[in-house]
Amino acid sequence: MNLDDFEQLVRSRRAVRRFRPDPVPEETLGRLLEATRWAPSGYNLQPARLHVVRDEELRGRLFTACLDQKQVREAPCVVVFTGDRKCFRAKRFARILAMDLEAGAINEQYKSFISQIVPLAFGRAPLGLGGLAKRLMVPAMRLLKPTPDLPAFQMDFWLAKQVMLGAMNFMLAAHAAGLATVPMEGFDPVRVRQVLALPRSETVILVVALGHEAGEGLTKTRLPLEEYVVEH
């Protein structure tokens, strides 16, 4: 694929809200999920979780949790994207570092550095007092030097950024495969959690319906580029 092909892909993909009942081929779905897996994430912690819902009865219950949006029932597949609030836990993080080191993605020096940064950025003492201390510490440190926000007290915001990177991979891959998607923010996260029996450690970020478009001729518009770009 060259840049011309990619531009055509991103310009022609759009949200679709009417779907045919035709099932998504198993192999195709697997490739879409694989494309999602390769999205980047902060510290390579890979917090995204993809809950694939194809059961008709379960989609019916999701339909209610998603404010009766008809695409949840019409589409043969719905993917609920969540973020794992415990993605930085020690054993899992150690496994990721070991994999990266073995693959040559990082060296020992970086491994040592990131092993110190992640617990500092994400860790919270009992009762959340560690997060409170960091919340007070960051503004004070900024008086002396540039200091980033810490996920310890902005975890949902951090998770949303990471998960959405993968969700865009998923939707572009679906379009390349001749399938349609629609990302939805209109849902009750508490009810979605109940329907799917999600663990409390997972935050519901996005719901995406996937399938074959019903109807043709849909298009989209965007504001001009000069309203997006600011030169400095």
- On whether residue 39 sits in a domain, the answer given is yes
Supply φ then ψ for residue 72, to 5 degrees: -65, -35
Let me know whether 118 and 171 are in one domain: no
d(CA 81, CA 75): 16
Amino acid 147: pLDDT: 75
What average pLDDT is seen over the chain? 92
Let me know whether 68 and 120 are in one domain: no
Let me know whether 55 and 95 are in one domain: no
**pTM, 2 dp:** 0.92
Residue 184 structural domain: 19-86+163-216
Q: Number of structural domains, the chain? A: 2
* DSSP letters spanning 72-124: HHHSSEEEEEEEETTTT-HHHHHHHHHHHHHHTSS-HHHHHHHHHHHHHHH--
- On whether residue 14 sits in a domain, the answer given is no
- On whether residue 138 sits in a domain, the answer given is yes
- On whether residue 43 sits in a domain, the answer given is yes
d(CA 53, CA 231): 44
Let me know whether 81 and 125 are in one domain: no
Q: Which two tokens stand for residue 2?
A: 């060259």
pLDDT (tens digit per residue) in 81-93: 999 999 999 999 9
Amino acid 229: pLDDT: 95
Is residue 80 pLDDT above 80, yes or no? yes
- On whether residue 231 sits in a domain, the answer given is no
Let me know whether 29 and 56 are in one domain: yes
Amino acid 129: pLDDT: 52
How distant, in Å, are the alpha carbons of 38, 115, 156 from that of 168?
A: 11, 29, 18
Let me know whether 40 and 96 are in one domain: no
